[in-house]
């Protein structure tokens, strides 16, 4: 790596991550002003955990992220198995578009289309509609991770099990799925992270009593930034970073590497 390339990389990473580092540092600021350093303090974390509406929004986000990641993981794994183990079949192109389309579509378009669908079928907006929206968006990401693992899987293991008399279901449950476990867990963590971090889709499909943490933070920021928001954002960054690192570790583990 040349000096110019290294310098460009450092400047690019600094541009991206320096604001996050500043936010984390100022979450421990003792001053009531977010731009004035007043010494180290954890008072804003105490104030955060005493903020009832913010804690309620955090619990909503966690429930939505867990439910949507479970659904997205199941659907994404099934889609990956269909793509990688069944070759060409009727409707493959349509299924490919349905699974991977939300990955490249603008989130505004996904949110608006889901909103119109929920209104058209008369479904009240709430936690359930947010879960459906996030599962729709995250399924493709899980399918990508699991498909990559399936393509690198030694099929002779499955063929050996079949030769020994195991049926398709037993081969799937005793050979294929155990070998896919790291990729499935990595996809689940990725889906959990994407759901926890989403603002746009949730803003369209949420209803009364179903305010997620990103929505709550955004509404408070519009009224003015305070150190309590810095503390909440720091905890959110820590949770998302942990999930992403866990997914990266599981993805690297499947190939015998280490991050």
Top pLDDT among 225 and 228 is at 228
Q: Which of 213, 207, 212 is nearest to 115 (CA)?
A: 207
Helices (H) and strands (E) in the chain, counts: 12, 0
**pLDDT over 90 at 196, yes or no:** no
Mean pLDDT on 163-188: 83
> In the prediction, which pLDDT does 45 show?
84
Q: Which of 43, 13, 11 is nearest to 26 (CA)?
A: 43
Q: How far apart are CA 27 and CA 31, in angstroms?
A: 10
Q: 39-43, 106-110, 147-151: which has the minimum mean pLDDT? A: 39-43
**pLDDT over 60 at 76, yes or no:** yes
CATH 1.10.3720.10 in the chain, residue ranges: 51-253
Residue 37: other Cβ atoms inside 10 A: 13
**pLDDT over 80 at 158, yes or no:** no
**pLDDT over 60 at 254, yes or no:** no
From the options 3.30.420.10, 3.40.50.10680, 1.10.3720.10, 2.40.50.140, give the CATH code of 51-253.
1.10.3720.10
> In the prediction, which pLDDT does 208 show?
81
Q: How far apart are CA 237 and CA 125, in angstroms?
A: 28
Q: What percent of the chain lies above the pLDDT cut of 90? A: 22
> In the prediction, which pLDDT does 95 show?
85
> In the prediction, which pLDDT does 112 show?
92
pLDDT digits (tens, 9 = 90+) for 116-157: 999 999 888 889 999 999 999 999 999 999 988 888 877 777
Mean pLDDT on 169-195: 86
pLDDT digits (tens, 9 = 90+) for 17-39: 888 888 888 888 887 777 777 78
Q: Which of 242, 201, 11 is nearest to 108 (CA)?
A: 201
Q: How far apart are CA 22 and CA 29, in angstroms?
A: 11
**pLDDT over 50 at 258, yes or no:** no
């Amino acid at each position: 790596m040349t000096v110019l390339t290294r310098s460009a990389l450092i400047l690019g990473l600094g541009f991206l991550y320096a604001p996050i580092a500043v936010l984390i540092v100022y979450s421990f600021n003792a001053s009531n002003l977010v731009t004035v350093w007043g010494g180290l303090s954890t008072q804003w974390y105490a104030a955060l955990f005493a903020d009832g509406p913010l804690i309620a929004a955090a619990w909503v986000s966690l429930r939505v992220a867990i439910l949507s990641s479970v659904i997205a993981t199941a659907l994404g794994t099934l889609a990956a198995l269909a793509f990688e183990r069944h070759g060409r079949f009727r409707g493959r192109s349509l299924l490919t578009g349905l699974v991977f389309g939300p990955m490249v579509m603008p989130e505004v378009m996904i949110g608006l289309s889901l909103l119109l669908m929920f209104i058209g079928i008369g479904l009240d907006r709430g936690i359930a509609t947010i879960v459906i929206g996030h599962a729709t968006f995250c399924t493709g990401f899980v399918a990508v991770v699991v498909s990559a693992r399936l393509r690198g899987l030694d099929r002779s293991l499955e063929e050996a099990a079949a030769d020994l008399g195991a049926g398709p279901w037993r081969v799937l449950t005793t050979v294929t799925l155990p070998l896919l476990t790291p990729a499935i867990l990595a996809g689940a963590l990725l889906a959990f992270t994407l759901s926890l971090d989403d603002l746009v889709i949730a803003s369209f499909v949420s209803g009364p009593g179903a305010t997620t943490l990103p929505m709550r933070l955004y509404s408070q920021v519009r009224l003015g930034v305070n150190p309590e928001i810095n503390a909440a954002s720091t905890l959110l960054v820590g949770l998302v970073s942990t999930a992403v690192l866990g997914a990266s570790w599981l993805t690297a583990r499947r190939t015998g590497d280490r991050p």
